[in-house]
Amino acid sequence: MADTIREQADIPAELDGERLDAAAARLFPDYSRSRLQSWIKRGDLRLDGATCRPRDKVRAGGKLSLEAELEDEVSWKPQDIELDIIYEDDSILVLNKPAGLVVHPAAGHADGTLVNALLNHAPAMAQLPRGGIVHRLDMETSGIMVAAKTLQAHHDLVDQLQERTVKRQYCAVCIGAMTGGGTIDAPMGRHPRSRKKMAVVAFGGKPAITHYRVTQRFGHHTRIAVSLETGRTHQIRVHMAHRKYPLIGDPVYGGRPRIPKGASERLITALRGFPRQALHAEALGLEHPETGEPMHFECPLPDDINELLTILAEEDPVGTARDAPGY
């Protein structure tokens, strides 16, 4: 049998006046726009309890309600997948997600996801929206995540994220020698020519703010600590590429590996062979949803990023850029 999904979302001010299907695509990003349109037409996705057309406009403060059967090829079933749990109590679970693990079942990743692992670890999470997930990391981004184990905790964590009180810090390793940190305030939306990509856009984008500071310099590369005010899809990857400092290993926004002139074979191999975007969620701060207690969690760098940093320090030391300018 197909699984029934039940989700709700409030329409924020920035989506006031948007088409229903466009707003739904923003608020339910785990499902394609064509699938959402189909659910709207069938009456499975309603606006303020009423059946509408995909082109109907939404208003801030309205509520979308989704109740639909998820096709059999996507599995929200428990699976015995190992979890690296950092902290757990009756309300929340904090874990270290490895690179390569998809967060939600979806087309192309029917199972073997973090949600499948969580449902095996705590079966009651199956009754929660999105299996208890309140925020996501890209498949190839590693690091710290929090999930809710109760409905109250889920609502509270979602509120904290919307109010921007959750503190998230990432480690990223970028192409290019930065002179200092800064803030990127550049709205983001879907790429105008490639729906699977995001981009900085001049019109119609959602606010996106990224702060970054330099933590380690190399000849042609830079390690930075990144904190987010907003949580847009691919935000760090898009913003750093927009500033011309794409992440090492990012095939979508970084392009082909850039090899410095005079690079050693070891450095060339490391840059060409790094298998993913060099991005790791290393710290998370929040208020406990039950007690209100401030909580802070940290997650050490994974072996692949540690090895990359070691090679950069030894094979691309500070000063190299002056000795061999350019790529």
The conformation of residue 126, written as its DSSP 8-state character, comes to: G
Residue with tokens 């090895």: 307
Q: For 70-97, what is the HEC assignment?
A: ECCCCCCCCCCCCCCEEEECCCEEEEEE
Distance CA 229, CA 211 (A): 8
Among this protein's residues, is 323 annotated catalytic? Answer: no
| CA distances in angstroms from 322 to 175, 181, 268, 314, listed in the order given | 16, 21, 19, 16
Cα→Cα distances 282→53, 170, 173, 187, 300, Å: 43, 5, 13, 25, 6
- Provide the pairing of β-strand 63-70 with 45-47: antiparallel
Whether 92 and 149 have beta carbons less than 8 Å apart is answered as yes
Of the candidates 21, 44, 90, 138, the residue annotated as catalytic is 138
Would you give the end-to-end CA distance of the chain in angstroms? 55
Reduced to 3 states (helix: H, G, I; strand: E, B; else coil), residue 159 is: helix
Find, among 121, 144, 143, the residue nearest to 131 by Cα. 121
Please state, in angstroms and rounded to a whole number, the distance separating the CA atoms of residues 309 and 249: 13
Strand, coil or helix: 282: strand
DSSP secondary structure string, 185-241?
E--EEE-SS-TTSEEE-SSSPBP-EEEEEEEEE-SSEEEEEEEESS--TTHHHHHHH
Residues marked as catalytic: 138
